[in-house]
Amino acid sequence: MNGGRYMAIPPGAIIPGALPDFRIYVVTPQGKYVLWALEGNRVSSEQLARLSESGTKEVFVDLEEQFKYEQYLETNLSNILGNLSTADDQKAEIFSKVSTNVVKVAFETSYGLGTMGAAAIQRTQKLIENALIFIKEAKSLQALAKMIGHDYQTYEHATKVLWFTVAFLQLNPDILEQIEPGYQAFDETRRMDMLRQCGVGALLHDIGKAFVSHEILTKNEPLTEVEWEIMKRHPLNGLAMLIDTDIPAFVKKAVLHHHEDFQGGGYPMSLEGPNITMLARVLRITDVFDAMTSRRPYKDPMPPMKAAQIMIGTPEDKKGKDDDPEQDDRDLGMRRCFDVDLLQKFIVFLGNVKLNG
Ligand SMILES: [Fe+2]
């Protein structure tokens, strides 16, 4: 294996017409690595067709160019998902690889939780791969590709929300029971399916942002009234994108309700309390938590426990008694967004997150 200097990649990761800035190799029956495409050269669909006719299941990239390959995947992910000639299992593999990397980088930087262990990486990869297969089976792959192609940051955020949502729910079967009564009596396969569907809801929750312009999505100043009205349509647009797919109804409702506030006043319908579906209440927490702890061009990531403190806020009757100088009225407002029982469970979960197992 030539000292193991190469990594195998699926040919489906190479987009015809795109310009990889890394070299691609094939391996001969004698185990020799031969240059197949030079960096900076367009790979044509004819070349890729010849490769697949010859039965080639893998091509190779020099390990030293792994970073360039990952950058290339990020840039081309939406094309890969939308490419009809790429096999579904290859799409799932590529998607889970890119997405796992997103989660891994976030853990090592924003969350300050250290290096993700090999077993945790493998579990994450499997989870995301399964979520994508489900999305494909539910005929919503094109909608996901549209969102990724429109705004890569929305996709990165959604991927981390998926990780948090599934990891949190996995440790809280009582919440899964509330999402779908009878869950605790399900067999293992059905339980895993249910968890996977919740992950899909997390991955798709902001899909309606595909209809919000880049200018609005990346604006550093407060939004104008009109821009805010456009932004507030994304849960409805998300539902519209999924309405004709086979995504389960409770997942569609979670997409629609994920900005509803537990004490009312959220959007688009200003629902309250138990009228907001349980998965949406979970997403309200994981969504805000990830947004607060993520790096943005205009802000550093907030430490997780600081974010949790702000999310808890100060109850009305305690206001002023503890005199925390960093606590302001906006934090009190944030408390209204969440189902407090659920938020307490989420904070217990944060204290227990172990990534190296
Ligand atoms: Fe959202």
- pLDDT tens for each residue of 91-100: 888 888 888 8
281 CA → ligand 1 middle, Å: 12
pLDDT exceeds 90 at position 207? yes
Q: Can you give the pLDDT at residue 356?
A: 39
pLDDT of residue 112: 64
In this predicted structure, the answer to whether residue 324 has a pLDDT above a threshold of 60 is: no
CA 70 to centroid of ligand 1, rounded, Å = 27
Cα 299 to Cα 105, 291, 302, 329, 336: the distances in Å are: 17, 11, 9, 20, 24
* Type of residue numbered 308: A
CB 184 within 8 A of CB 139: no
Residue 142 Cα, ligand 1 centroid: separation in angstroms?
19
Give residue-wise pLDDT tens across range 16-31.
Answer: 877 888 999 998 888 8
DSSP three-state, residue 313: coil
pLDDT band at 331 (very low <50, low <70, confident <90, very high): low
**pLDDT > 90? residue 185:** yes
Give the C-alpha separation, 278 to 287, whole Å. 14
DSSP for 51-100 reads HHHTT---EEEEGGGHHHHHHHHHHHHHHHHH-TTS-HHHHHHHHHHHHH
In the chain, the percentage of residues whose pLDDT exceeds 90 is 42
104 CA to centre of ligand 1 in angstroms: 22
Quote the ligand 1 centre to 99 CA distance (angstroms).
19
| 77 CA distance to ligand 1 middle (Å) | 21
Q: What's the confidence (pLDDT) of residue 279? A: 98
Per-residue pLDDT tens digits for 252-292: 999 999 999 999 999 999 999 999 999 999 999 999 999 99
- 221 C-alpha to center of ligand 1: Å? 18
Cα of 233 vs centre of ligand 1, distance in Å, is 9
Asked whether the beta carbons of 193 and 169 are under 8 A apart, the reply is no
Distance 82 CA to ligand 1 centre (A): 23
Counted residue by residue, the chain has a size of 357
Which pLDDT score, from 0 to 100, does residue 322 have? 52
The beta strand positions in the chain, using DSSP E, are 6-9, 24-27, 33-37, 59-62
- Residue 206 CA, ligand 1 centroid: distance in Å: 5
Q: Which tokens is 64 given?
A: 């030293």
207: DSSP letter: G
Using the structure block, give the residue that is written with the tokens 């086979």. Answer: 246
Instruction: Return the number of other C-beta atoms located less than 10 Å from residue 330's C-beta.
Output: 9
The arithmetic mean of pLDDT across residues 123-134, rounded, is: 86
